[in-house]
Amino acid sequence: MSDKVLVTGGAGFIGHILIKYLLDNTDYEIISIDRLDYSGNLNRFSHMLKDYDESTKKRVSIIYHDLKSEINNLIESQIRDIKHVFHLAASSHVDRSIDDPMTFVYDNVVATANLLNYSRNLNHLENFVYFSTDEVFGPAPKNINFKEWDRYNSTNPYSASKAGGEELAIAFENTYGLPVIITHTMNVFGERQHPEKFIPNTLWKLKRGEKILIHSDSTKTKPGSRHYIYAEDVARAVMFVVENKDKLMNKKEDIYGAKCLKVNIPGAKELNNLEIAQLISRYSGFELNFELVDFHSSRPGHDLRYALDGTLIRSLGWNHKHSIEDSFEKLIHWFLDNPEWLDF
């Protein structure tokens, strides 16, 4: 019998890419818990699974549950004997967190606490992998890339709620011996991403001939920048971390003596918002009409730059499989062939 893994938020963007990677590269039986809201839906799941044979599809099951509520006996009966927990379920849009911060506290802190509390009683659990974000470290000055154990400097409710989840996970390892791994990821892009995100939203607007507003600094001359990483590379990195946990623990650099492992998953390349729009225009063939606007100084909680140091994971030989340019070209053509994923 195959080992079981639990993926929370499996109908979400990164979650369904991770499940696809697990289907392609392991024999795990995969159980997903998802509340199936705006960010996680069965259409994404079914679209991803449509090319698999029936025996492969049967390796995946979905349980409808909102983790803000404790895991009940019925759900517990379906998720016993779990080998790995991959906790991706989260509310993740900064603008939404600014408009409604308490939802993010419940979704990202309370829900995480409920899952941690359940997981500490799983007898065969080898890893609890908590997906976090580069945003917990706050804005990165030019030429500064944050290491795993640098201090938090959250600037909006979303990043603060993810930092809160991290602290809970660390506490559960220290207190109960829960085998925790924390990963920080950067700006992830890929197939079936929610259309409100920058890349699909920009393509949708270019297709309609609309002007693209490029977020920049107060001078309207310096666009905000991010380090981008293809979603499949994130899935590869997560499994690399799980498979090399002991080696990474021996190499980790922290001065606090923490028991758990934190690993940054770095972006493949730093690009500013204008460069991203130009790439989308190039690969789609749609003309780019843009304007630089002062967004960051006028809206507290939005940072101009994030950056992570990827020395730890790269020290064991991990690197990106896909270049940014090749990934973007592939993705833009995919969206144009699947235009339903550009519609709100």
Percentage helix, strand, coil, to 5, in the chain?
40, 20, 40
Q: How far apart are CA 333 and CA 344, in angstroms?
A: 19
Token reading at 277: 């729009």
135 is an active site residue: yes
Strand, coil or helix: 225:
strand
158 is an active site residue: yes
In angstroms, the Cα distances linking 31 to 3, 10, 124, 185, 235 are: 11, 8, 16, 23, 16
Q: How far apart are CA 165 and CA 148, in angstroms?
A: 15
Which is the catalytic residue, given 21, 118, 158, 230? 158
Residues in CB range of 26: below 8 A, 6 or more apart: 239
Residue 292: which H helix or E strand, with range?
Answer: strand 290-294
Which is the catalytic residue, given 29, 34, 107, 134? 134
Q: How far apart are CA 28 and CA 5, in angstroms?
A: 7
> Are the CB atoms for 263 and 239 separated by under 8 Å?
no
Q: How far apart are CA 17 and CA 47, in angstroms?
A: 12
Alpha helices in 150-294 (DSSP H): 157-176, 198-207, 231-243, 245-251, 273-284
The residues with which 263 forms a beta bridge, in sequence order, are 183
Residue type, 208: R
Q: How far apart are CA 115 and CA 86, in angstroms?
A: 11
Strand, coil or helix: 278:
helix
Instruction: Report the relative pairing of strands 261-264 and 212-216 from DSSP bridges.
Output: unpaired
Which is the catalytic residue, given 135, 232, 233, 270? 135
> Are the CB atoms for 155 and 301 separated by under 8 Å?
yes
The residues with which 264 forms a beta bridge, in sequence order, are 184
Residues carrying an active site annotation: 134-135, 158
